[in-house]
A and B are shown apart, each in its own frame.
Chain A
Amino acid sequence: MEFFLQQTVNGLTLGSVYALLALGYSMVYGVLKFLNFAHGEVYMFGAFAGYGVLTVLGGPTGLIVPVWLALTLMFVGAMVVSSGVGVALERFAYRPLRNASRLAPLISAIGASFFLQAAALLLFTANSRSYEAPQLIPIENGLSIGPVDVWAVRVMVIVVTVVLMILLTWWVKSSKAGKAVRAVSFDAEAAAMMGIDVNRVVLVTFLIGSALAGVGGVMVGLVFGRIFHFMGFIAGLKAFTAAVVGGIGSIPGAMLGGLLIGFAEAYTTAYISSTFQNLIVFGLLIVFLLIRPSGVLGRPELVKV
């Protein structure tokens, strides 16, 4: 039982990060109907921004401000930088391709992804860096859930993710801008005719999706520790998977998809085999998609003829 609980916490943490990233993919897909392949790079820049803020504030061992303030500033810094990168991506790599075929932005995104990785190599060098989170928040600090001790950072990751998701759901459902996003993702042309500024909606979507990726970047830095120029590529793949499995374009779907993959990875390693983790997880996902061809919450596409 203790073992199971422990692994559940592990899966939940991992799933939270995947979910935050998957949201970016799903939101952009909802509005523009293509995959923002460079989203992983946005997340990577967020992670480095958080590291930059941490360094400016004196580093993990010599903080000049209280820990909570440092963490807040790190998140804010990451969100600002990530959304800056995200918006620039939209403006310069994707907007010229708005009316092109669906695969054209994919290549543009790949180009942007190479470019951003190289830029990160030039700016930050190839050495991986560490937030050294255990220095910030000692491993002893945490929460006891039954027999299991959970590190405070993990608790924070899960709580922040849940809060962000509730906020996002509320925003999309109730706010005016959120309604505009939904309208555009339902039918961009009709929305434009109703007087919705599509460019603005796209911008807002990128802004929010990228900011969430920035948060994800800092979280990964805090829980798992290692940040490096290539991290976006790997995490992006998982998050993209999560978005599709959840039902691409669906916001709650992305959250569920992220968690699903997080749990699948944790339990597979725990109960079956670490060697075949990927094999089994991907195998399971194939079977899953065959049973539900449009993901967890994706609606089957209705085709107008």
Chain B
Amino acid sequence: MQVTLRNPRRVVEVTGPIRVHALLDRLEINRESVIVICGDTLVPSDALLLDTDVVEVRPVISGGCL
């Protein structure tokens, strides 16, 4: 499957099926710092992602000036 990452924006190929939490572990991404979107749907950490899915791992940490 194609997985889009941000900051910087890039696309990586990951073999499915794989659960969201396992995908994040494989990419060494803290699940507290992202949301995962499959197609146009938000998915929880136990969702199963398939080879044909288009996935975005979107970071949620923001801010500089507070």
- Chains A and B bind each other: no
On B, residues with C-beta under 8 Å from A are none
